[in-house]
Amino acid sequence: MRHIKLIYMILLLSCCCLLNTACGYLTKNDQQLVYARPAYGTDRFIRIQGYNIHYVETGTATGQQETMLLIPGAFSTYRSWNRMIPLLAKHYRILAIDYLGAGDSDKPASGFAYKIEEQADVIAQMMQQAGIPKAHIVGVSYGGLIALNLATRYPHRATSVVCIEGGVVKPDKLPHYYARKVLGWPLVGDLFVSAIRSGLFDTATTKAVMGEAWKDMSRKERQELIHIFAQNNKTASRRAWYLISQTLENSKDFVEEIKTLKTPVLYLYGEKSELRAMAEMNVRFFRTYLPEVEIVSFKDGIHDLELQKPREVANLILKFLGQGGNEIITSKHKDAAATPSPIAVP
């Protein structure tokens, strides 16, 4: 009995410690604190609608250089772009954003539902307040949807859009996020998020997200990716993650509005992505209603192409924007499996 009580006490103390960790994230970052300094660029904050928005700025901010905004995917921070930032910063002023609910930006527990249109409104206001009349908007997944929504509703703000597997058209059966139910339960969800924040699952999370691409990566690449995911996980927020996981159901449909979009769009997706069916549904939509959209698939690509193929994706973006880009592709990236190819879906 004494041993059982001791075990219970240890478990109770462990749960208390985890809950304390879970509640340690900043819902309101008025002091503009950062969890860790960026690998590239300078930390900056801007206050929009009473919220503190964090972003990292790099690249040469000259009068001739255009601005590019990078918006990460769901449950991610600006660090998801770390493998691409140095490649793009040679040509553009880069602003890599922590949208509301991510990283060092505020994570409001109420008053903000993390809908696509809400995030787009905040970023459009951020551009106006920062004196950025127009920018190239690059987003992946959740961030790709935000990019497309922003360009649709604020066309004067978007010079171009690069969308990596963001889906305008919703499938009948929406993707099921593995932890959605858990995140919806306050106590259990807080314990789950605290475990994520503790770093116990950094390697497992990285391997799960990278999928088939993991086995082809070098040890150095794997360590780099684990570090990115560890940094993402340290600022996890249960409430924000839970609402972001529901974004496809809760966000306003803008399928009809986007049909009038005139902004140039590059759409990228991976043929090994777990969301390939949804991506190809959107490809068919673009071919039908926005035939000018440039569409490129990667035969061995996963959902997060910015993590798997930073050089190839950066090359495509630079070519799409008329910057060449061939100089950043080295010989080891020229094999057929790693070369993106245009597709035409009937």
42-174+255-342 falls under which CATH superfamily? Alpha/Beta hydrolase fold, catalytic domain (3.40.50.1820)
Beta bridge partners of 266: 162, 294
Which two tokens mark 179? 């932890």
pLDDT at residue 176 in the model: 59
> DSSP letter string over 165-200?
S--SSPPSS----TTHHHHTSHHHHHHHHHHHHHTT
Chain mean pLDDT for the chain:
87
Task: Convert the pLDDT of each residue in 56-87 to its tens digit.
Answer: 999 875 556 799 999 999 999 999 999 999 99
| Percent of the chain residues topping a pLDDT of 90 | 71
With b meaning 16 or more CB within 10 Å and e meaning fewer, what string describes 260-270?
Answer: ebebbbbbbbb
> Which of the residue ranges 2-16, 97-111, 233-247 would you say has the lowest mean pLDDT?
2-16
Which two tokens mark 81? 């772009």
Phi, psi of 214 (to 5 degrees): -60, -40
At position 21, the amino acid (one-letter code) is T
Domain boundaries, the chain: 42-174+255-342
Residue whose pair of structure tokens reads 């004494």 in the numeric block: 2
**pTM score of the predicted model:** 0.88
Distance of CA 109 to the CA centre of its chain: 20
pLDDT at residue 182 in the model: 86
pLDDT exceeds 90 at position 317: yes
pLDDT at residue 281 in the model: 95
| Best CA proximity match to 196, nearest among 235, 252, 148, 165 | 235
pLDDT at residue 18 in the model: 45
**Mean of pLDDT values over 221-240:** 94
With b meaning 16 or more CB within 10 Å and e meaning fewer, what string describes 37-53?
Answer: ebbbbebebbebeebbb
| CA distances in angstroms from 269 to 258, 291, 298, listed in the order given | 19, 17, 6
Sequence-ordered list of residues with C-beta below 8 angstroms from that of 110, at least 6 positions apart, any chain: none
**Mean of pLDDT values over 211-235:** 95
Task: Convert the pLDDT of each residue in 19-30 to its tens digit.
Answer: 444 444 558 888
Q: For residues 107 and 332, is the Cβ–Cβ distance under 8 A?
A: no
Residue whose pair of structure tokens reads 């905040």 in the numeric block: 122
**Mean of pLDDT values over 152-160:** 98
Which two tokens mark 12? 């109770």
The strand ranges marked E within 210-320 are 265-270, 294-298
